[in-house]
Amino acid sequence: MILGASAAIVGCFSFLRKRALVGDAIAHSILPGVCLAFMVSGSKNPLYLIIGAFITGWLSLLLIDAITRTTKLKSDTAIGIILSVFFGVGILLLTSIQHSGNASQAGLDKFLFGKAASLTKDDVYIFGTIALILIAVVILFYKEFKLISFNPDYAKVIGLPVQFLEFMLATITVLAVAVGIQAVGVVLMAALLITPASGARFWTDKLSVMILIATAFGAISGFLGSYISYIAPSMPTGPWIVMCLSMLTIGSIWFAPRTGMLAKFRVQKENQRKILIENVLKLFYHLGEKDGTFKKQRSTSVLLASRDLRIKELNRGLHLLKKEHWLRKKGDNWLITQSGLNEAKRIIKLHRLWEMYLNQRLKLEPDHVHNDAEAIEHIITPELEKQLEKELNYPTKDPHESVIPYAE
Amino acid sequence: MISIETHNLTVSYNRRPVLWNIDFELPTGKIIGIIGPNGSGKTTLLKAIMGLVPTSSGYVKIFDQDLNDVRSRVSYVPQRESVDWDFPASVMDIVLMGRYKKNNLFKRISKADRDIAAEALEKVNMLEFSKRQISQLSGGQQQRVFIARSLAQGADLYIMDEPFIGVDAATEEAILKLLSDMKKDGKTVVVVHHDLQTAKDFFDWIVLLNTRMVAAGPIEEIFNETLLQEAYGGKLNVLSQVGDLMKEKAFDVRES
């Protein structure tokens, strides 16, 4: 749990600095470090392994940086090179260790896919301490990390020790990866780092809240993953942690308020509804304008004949309007109410004002303005309406010589 | 008094000099424009002054001192496009960054800092937007937030990179008003600007730049057909060929 949480916190900054793939490179580069540490020390003491992991993890960062700085290669290429070279060396070392006949090597290959369920008590203490240190560093340097993620040049100019801060941030990233790898392994580590942050981004526009949500995602997934492999021992922990994380993130993409897919879908639906009822209302106005009276009852067939609408849509619109008390039903016929008429006038007015605006300001011919106004009439706010009226100096007629109805 | 002095400043990318021997002294208490065509090295000059890019030769003095000794008196407004405005932060968060200092690394933001930030926002007519998420701002509003951040620093010298680019009329007016207020308070403002049309009305002093310095001085002395023609009439042919050669042969601008 705590592993998931600490990786998530650090991952937020990688995400915001658009360094998502760097975590992956570090994770892969850690493997040779772990193997070398084992070969040198001859034990699986987690402290040695982490030191080894730390060294090669950092080395990979420095190399990526050096490649992008001194050659023409871009950072994605550099990351790709470093990732595969280090991982290749790691696998090479791992294979040679496995064939060396050293009895204590068993389990080293767990680094590939993680071994969260089989952590020893010592492991837990060491990783727990490191995770707490990471969290403490982030809290301590929170506002500085925020600034160097947003605008590093400015941080440099006001004299912040940007190099030192970037060093700290890189160090805690390497540490978080080195620790997280124990749980989910090299291959899935990038998910632990970046997925919580990307999911959390959907829920909030505040960095502090985003970090908290990402942390919660990391912790919950860590807990669920371990729990699943605890009740069903044949289930691997690491992949389940990542599965849970992915679920949370996919869920965020769908259900987050405002930014989620569902919310966007709802807005679309609401727009369609608004457009439909406003169009039907306009229909009553146009008919009334033609006949010189708005008090006449209209049958469905008359309404259908005067505008290109499907009968199902028309009926839906009529009933929605009835609910708003903008229409009244008399037998099989429909009658517009006073409040309905006011609303219809407002929409017609917006339509004709917009036509005027296009005609005058965008120099469009009168026969080119109608279709545009059909769409724009539905979204003009009262504030914009006032601005339009004022700018056009309260015109009485639109470019087609139709009267612009103002509210009495 | 001299605000900025550059002495024989040369800056190179991949050994090709993009600024050649820039040498000028700027006065204090003036609004100074740095003017030149696209690719003339205006932004690079600012970055070199602020110590953001390494220089190949020469030096910069600010208020007769090293930048490191006067950082708190200098404020920098980077180009609006240089950051990602999707970053999860509010307008207030950004302006408060102007209150970060190198000496109070662990110190929390105080009430006084918030008051200063609010005051800075008021000066650019953005106080009502202080809680607004920065991704919801228009280009002009983003620019004003950046300027407010630099005002919150309370510096004597302000260095702004293209503050007028792509902003609405209201923002342009707000910035101009602010500049003249700052001048009245004895502040010095150095502005990178690309538009010749407006330059004449905006600035007291200008530096004409096109990879080399064409001229620097009070606007009435510098702003004439001959010098403008020289600045906007293209790069010097031999100079750019020598630059290309230095890149190709990996030659440094100083013998070492």
Q: How far is B2 from chain A (nearest CA, A)?
A: 20
Report the pLDDT averaged over residues A256-262.
85
Are residues A151 and A12 both part of a single domain?
yes
Q: How far apart are CA A231 and CA A265, in angstroms?
A: 39
In the block, which residue shows the tokens 């997280």? Answer: A180
A67 is a domain residue: yes
Task: Examine the domain organization and report whether A184 and A290 are in the same domain.
Answer: no
Domain check: are A36 and A164 in the same one? Answer: yes
* Residues of chain B neighbouring A155 (CB-CB closer than 8 A): 100
- Taking one residue from A and the other from B, the number of pairs with CB-CB distance under 8 angstroms is 78
Percent with pLDDT over 70 in chain B: 97
Which chain B residue lies closest to A144 (C-alpha atoms)? B105
Q: What is d(CA A163, CA A36) in angstroms, rounded to the nearest whole number?
A: 29
Q: Note the pLDDT of residue B33.
A: 94
Tell me the pLDDT tens digit for each residue of A380-401. 888 889 989 998 999 988 888 8
What end-to-end distance do the CA atoms of chain A give, in Å? 66
State whether residue A319 sits within 8 Å of chain B by CB: no
Assign residue B47 the CATH number of its domain. 3.40.50.300
Task: Kindly indicate the confidence band of residue B237, based on its pLDDT and cuts at 50, 70 and 90.
Answer: confident
Specify if B119 maps to a domain. Answer: no
Q: Which residue range forms the structural domain that includes residue A351?
A: 341-391
Selected residue with higher pLDDT from A224 and B238: A224
Neighbours of B121 (CB within 10 A): 25
Q: How far is B87 from chain A (nearest CA, A)?
A: 7
Same domain, A330 and A378: no
- Interchain proximity B102–A158, CB inside 8 Å: yes
Number of domains within chain A: 3
Instruction: State the Cα–Cα distance between residues B176 and B198, nearest whole angstrom.
Output: 11
Q: What is the pLDDT of residues A120-178, one digit of tens each?
A: 777 778 888 888 899 899 999 998 999 999 999 999 988 888 889 999 999 999 988 88
Q: Are residues A22 and A129 in the same domain?
A: yes
Which of A157, A188, A219 is the C-terminal boundary of a domain?
A188
Q: Can you give the CATH number for the domain in which A151 is found? A: 1.10.3470.10
The pLDDT tens digits for B129-164 are 999 999 999 999 999 999 999 999 999 999 999 999
Measured between alpha carbons, how far is residue A23 from residues A11, A83, A140, B191 in Å? 8, 10, 22, 39
Tell me, yes or no, whether A194 lies in a domain.
Answer: no
User: How far separated are the first and last CA of chain B, in Å rounded?
Assistant: 35
pLDDT at B239: 82
**With contacts defined as CB-CB under 8 Å, which chain A residues touch B87?**
16, 149-150, 207
Please indicate whether, in this complex, the C-beta atoms of B52 and A156 are within 8 angstroms of each other.
yes
Beta strands in A175-287 (DSSP E): none
Q: Is residue A216 part of a domain?
A: no
Model confidence at B243: pLDDT above 90? no
How many DSSP H helices and E strands does chain A contain?
17, 3
Q: What percent of chain A has pLDDT over 90?
A: 36
Provide the pLDDT for residue B88. 93
* pLDDT given at position B116: 93
Give the Cα-Cα-Cα angle A167, A169, A171 (nearest 5 degrees).
65
Q: What is the pLDDT of residue A408?
A: 67
Among A367-371, B80-84, B237-241, which is the least confidently predicted range? B237-241
Question: Average pLDDT, stretch B1-26?
Answer: 90
Are residues A173 and A317 located together in one domain of the fold?
Answer: no
- When CB atoms are compared, the residue of A141, A154, A205 closest to B76 is A154
d(CA A269, CA A271): 5
Residue B135 with chain A: CB contacts under 8 Å: 205
Range with the poorest average pLDDT among A100-104, A240-244, A278-282? A100-104
Residue ending a domain, among A188, A206, A234, is A188
Supply the CATH number for residue A380's domain. 1.10.60.10
Give the pLDDT mean for A1-11.
82
B106 occurs within a structural domain:
no
Q: Identify the pLDDT of residue A106.
A: 64
* Mean per-residue pLDDT over chain A, rounded: 87
Confidence tier at A258 by pLDDT (50, 70, 90): confident
Smallest CA–CA distance from A201 into chain B, residue: B88
pLDDT > 70: what percent of chain A? 97
Q: What is the rounded average pLDDT of the residues A25-43? A: 87
Alpha-carbon gap, residue A26 to A28, rounded angstroms = 5
Cα A181 from Cα A251, distance rounded (Å): 25
Q: Is the pLDDT of residue B91 over 90?
A: yes
Q: Is residue A92 part of a domain?
A: yes
List pLDDT tens digits, range A289-310.
888 888 888 888 888 888 888 8
Contact of A147 with chain B, judged by CB distance below 8 Å, is answered with yes
Region B19-35: what's the mean pLDDT? 93
CATH number for A309: 1.10.10
Determine the pLDDT at residue A151: 92
Same-domain status, A35 and A97: yes
Q: What is the mean pLDDT of residues A47-56?
A: 88
CA-CA distance, A336 to A342, in Å (whole number)? 10
Given a cut of 70, whether residue A102 has pLDDT beyond it is no
> Is A230 an 8 Å CB contact of chain B?
no
pLDDT at A306: 82
A80: CB partners within 8 A, 6+ apart: none
What is the count of structural domains for chain B? 1
Residue A41 has pLDDT above 90, yes or no: no
Higher pLDDT, A1 or A196: A196
| Separation between Cα atoms, residue B3 and residue B16, nearest integer Å | 28
Cβ within 8 Å of A, B 11-70: 47, 50-52, 68
SS3 B77: strand
- Co-location of A176 and A267 in the same domain: no
Assess A159–B contact: CB distance below 8 Å, yes or no.
yes
Contact residues, chain B, for A201 at CB < 8 Å: 88
- 3-class DSSP state of A397: strand
pLDDT at B122 over 90: yes
Q: Say if the Cβ atoms of B83 and A151 lie within 8 Å.
A: yes
Say if the Cβ atoms of A144 and B100 lie within 8 Å: yes
Residue A38 lies in a domain: yes
Range of the domain at B173: 2-88+156-248
Instruction: Report if residue A205 sits inside a domain.
Output: no
Verify whether the Cβ–Cβ distance B74 to A157 is below 8 Å.
Answer: yes
Q: Number of C-alpha atoms within 13 angstroms, CB side, residue A14?
A: 32
Q: Please answer whether residues B45 and B218 qualify as being in contact, where contact means their C-beta atoms are separated by less than 8 angstroms.
A: no
> Is the predicted pLDDT of residue B103 greater than 80, yes or no?
no
Greater confidence (B218 vs A258) lies with B218
Q: Where are the beta strands (DSSP E) in A87-209?
A: none
Q: Does pLDDT of B223 surpass 90?
A: no
Write the CA distances from A156 to A19, A137, A147, A162, B44, integer angstroms: 20, 20, 10, 6, 15
Query: Could you identify the residue written with the tokens 């929409």?
Result: A347
Kindly state whether residue B122 falls inside one of the protein's structural domains: no
ipTM of the complex: 0.86
- In this structure, the answer to whether residues A13 and A60 fall within a common structural domain is yes
- Distance between A167 CA and the closest CA of chain B, angstroms: 15
Mean pLDDT of B39-45: 91
Domain membership of residue A306 (yes or no) is yes
Verify that A154 and A169 share a domain, yes or no: yes
For residue A40, the model assigns a pLDDT of: 86
Q: For B88, which of A18, A140, A201 is closest by C-beta distance? A: A201
Average pLDDT of the segment spanning A104-115: 70
Where does a domain end: A145, A167, A188? A188
